[in-house]
Structure formats: C-alpha cells, structure tokens
Chain A
C-alpha cells in the first residue's frame, strides 16, 4: 500500500510548457518535502513545507501544501530541458517524533524536450 501517491508517474512535455505534479495521501504529515533526483545521483532537497496552505516559490517552481497537510503540489512554469529528472515528494509523519522518518512517493519522471 502506497502511503503517498504521486501523479502523473511520467510526463513528457515541450520546452516552455507548464506542468503540475500532485502528491496525495490519506495521512497527515508534520511537513512535506520535494526532492529532485538525476540519474546516478541521490535525491536533492528542493523545498520543505510545514504549514497547511503554505506556498513556496523557487524561481519557476511553486510548491503548495494542502490545508489539511495531506497533499501537496509542484507547479513548474515555462519548463526547460534542465528541469528533466525524477521529482519525489516525501512526508514526515505527524505521529513520528524521532529523527525525521520520511515516507517517499513513487516519483514523477519528467522529460522536457527542447
């Protein structure tokens, strides 16, 4: 049973297009993180959202945490080939209070073609 569902799993778009990736769960998270992973590398943290309804922007990337802290979205404006990679959402369970256990979604493989 997947605790965090990401959609879509695969996305292939042209440079300049916009896209949104969704991360959904029935569980409440104390915080949620988005990572980007390139082939042959480990995930790299992009952002952490903590408060329900929080919106954070990182250049052309906009991250939103749902009001109930059960879901999140990542929106990319005017995608570029350099955005290509695996995008992972990961949540810290609200009931887990030691050392920050992360539950990962299955990832969204994004390909941006020039």
Chain B
C-alpha cells in the first residue's frame, strides 16, 4: 500500500513570496490533516478535512494560509505572503477511521 505522498520535499523562498504544497493521501482515507512542525516542537494541526469539507481550521492563520481538498482526495496548502516565522516542516497525514494517522515525509520550508 502506497503511503502519503508530499511534494516538494524542500522549498526555499524569500519573505513575501507565495508557496504551495501538495499532498496525496492513502487511497480511501477520508480524513486529511495538515500540520506545521517548527524545529524543536511537535506538530501543530493547521487544518483537518473530512472528504472535501473542513472539520477544523481553528489554528490556520487565514490571513495568509489557505487549503483546499478538491474532490476529497488530493490537497494543497498555500502560504501567501510568507513570513520568516513560517519556516517549518509542513506535514500531511491521512486516516481512515480517525484514530490512526499516517504521515507523509513532509515539506521543509525555509523563508529567507
């Protein structure tokens, strides 16, 4: 069974630029999560989708971050404009029944 796929793996941008990350969850997994993991910290949930609907986006900085999950499968997370403090690893995870989440390898973003 293929795991959660993410791209790109690394991205370096300047502040005020925009960036987008892509996630392909495990086939059949209805729930998809985006996490932000800052160096030295645990992952923090940004947004959770159930199929193509948003379940929780309470910690998503909506003035600069947006996410969508078209057709309830793949998802994209966008940052526009980026700030220095957005430098982090962005993790995508998916789950079938909600309890066990499977994580992708993450995208390491560096904002200079």
On A, residues with C-beta under 8 Å from B are: 4, 6, 9, 31, 33, 40-45, 48, 88, 90, 92, 98-102, 104-107
Contact = CB atoms under 8 A, between A and B. Distances in A.
Contacts of B103: 42-44
A102 B103 CA distance: 13
A21 to B, nearest CB: 13
Contacts, number: 63
Contact of B42 (A92, A100, A105): A105
A99 B4 contact: no
Nearest to B31: A99
Interface stretch (B43-51, B63-71, B73-81): B43-51
A90 B105 contact: no
B75 to A, nearest CB: 14
Contacts of B100: 33, 45, 48
Nearest to A100: B98
Contacts of A33: 100
B41 A42 contact: no
B99 A48 contact: yes
B82 interface: no
B50 A99 contact: yes
Interface string B53-97: 001100000000000000000000000000000000001010101
A24 B27 CA distance: 35
Nearest to B38: A106
B12 to A, nearest CB: 16
